[in-house]
A and B are shown apart, each in its own frame.
Chain A
Amino acid sequence: MSTDEIVQRVSLIVGAGQVGAPTGRAADAVKILSKPGDAAELAEVVRACETDRIALAPLGAARTLSQIRSLPVALGVSLGRLARVVAYEPKDLTITVEAGLSVGELNRALAPARQRLPVDPCDPDATTVGALIAASHAGPLRLSEGTTRDLLIGIRYVGHQGHSVHGGGRVVKNVAGYDLMKVLGGSFGTLGIITEATFKVRPLPEQYAMTRLSFDRAEKLFAAARELHDSLPLAHLEGLSSAAAYACGSPARFLLVAGISGSSSEVASLRDATARAAPGAVFVERGDALHAYARLRDFDASAWALTAQIAVAPAQLSSILAATDAQYLAHMGCGVATLFLPEPPADGRITIDGWRQAARRAGGYLRILHAHRSFRGSVEFFDMPNDGALKLMRRLKAAFDPAGVFNPGCFVGGI
């Protein structure tokens, strides 16, 4: 089907004004952009795509999509018109929102009750709730608060045949039925398009402060990180190599950033304990700490030529970081790090294979977050699961997307 024909077809459903050519980064991700007004229109779009075998993908993850696809998908679906807070009861500490709402907006809705969704992806105002879930974004707070996986308690999505499916619910504890939240989470739009989500939320801590420690050698950074992680309940603990440290406003070769939060007496106690455990620690407090934290959280690794996320058993992270020539921003307590190279490597595939093997040896895996256009088409973005797991994943894709239209070909093993 030609681009014009698709535009015509989809215009009949969502209205001519809601279909058109994408601009900016979206243009890398999709050929045509559509904006359904509600879930019912989206369902019709999905049915039409299945009938005419048009590949479609949610655009909330456009940033991610444009970075991992070598070719744009035919039809992008923006959920920008599905951006309401559906239900929020502060005393229940749960919130239900539409998937097009940004994480920043979500947190602003929670702020009057001094609550937050502590997932903290990079640039929360540019990250929609749908993208947060589908691309499985997480920030520094994963050390103390977990990830989207831990906080998502209900989901609604439009699946094949345009069915609106929901799993979970609006209560913090619920094991009725199978956990569709887990399956849709991190699925990169390949199983359906998320339209609504319910999260557990948390109270905002009374106070937050940041500790910075500079080092001339990576080994010292790793030793200090181990000491702090072993002795204190930290909000976050990040290890940064020079380029990441510079981007976060600190000219250090290696920088360790630890967050402490809680009531004023807890923060005072943690401050003393941190000073004892890490002599030379520099403290940043109140507004300055929040500002510094935002710079750390919003460090945008996609500006670099090659960016990857590595995830291993936590104690193995230091040896991997020590052995690489890459720059990094590492969640030291979690075994998860972002590796990046400022310039395209001579052979991207060799570089990635090296990183991937190191991750596997440490019991983990590697996922490419961004690759320069020049070699995007030649690299595997996702690590390959073992054969047994991959077989189940293919079955899952076939069951949830029998027509093969949801963001095809971009996930593990070409799913």
Chain B
Amino acid sequence: MAICKNCGVELEEVMLSCPLCGEPVAGSGESGTSRQTTPAGEPAFQPRAEMSQPQKKFTWEIISIILLSGLIATFIVDFVINQTITWSEYPVAISLTIFAYISLFAFWQQPTLLQIAGSLALSIVFLLLLDLLTNGISWSVGLGIPLLLAANLVAAGLIGVIYRSKYKGINLLAWGFLGAAFLCLCIEGILVRFMTGTFRFGWSLIVCGSVIPVALVLFFVHLRLKKGRSLEKTFHM
């Protein structure tokens, strides 16, 4: 009979490693690095269904070509009509932002939130450079970067909620509504601030007022519907 040198328990002759701690039995040929065995009954790790690296590269190439061709065409049209760069700055800025995001998501193997943060940083650099190269720093700091930051915050928040939700259903729709309402508030606040120098909210408050009750109803329905559970356990007194 073999004895586990870690737990001191008795192992069957056929066991190559201790089922309690994964310590390999002396002479079984298992390396120390493969100690973590999956105990009986424990679900094995299920990898997420993701694109393979060649698939990611191919997708990135297609999107990049579309963005680049659009970008060049926009620039040329604007330049031909106005003899300088004017309105085309904005579609170009959007194209550069999308490019920054897809590039990091395609080639930077990191957790999603880190990828978002990296993409945000890269986009900010692109926007600043574009703004600087056209008419000097004008719209990027006051408008482009705050809008980008708000959109990223909402996206990161929604990803976090989706990740943490044990039961994914109508609740995600409700969170999406709340995220959109918050983004509307941010957009109006940033736009008004950029144009008038003050903070004022109008249409975005109406959006929030309409969306919040809808979201609450969706949450309620979700709690009611999920796997036939009642609300009693959450609200029991």
Instruction: Please determine whether chains A and B interact with each other in the same assembly.
Output: no
Residues on B lying within 8 angstroms of A by beta carbon are none
Q: Which residues of A contact B (CB under 8 A)?
A: none
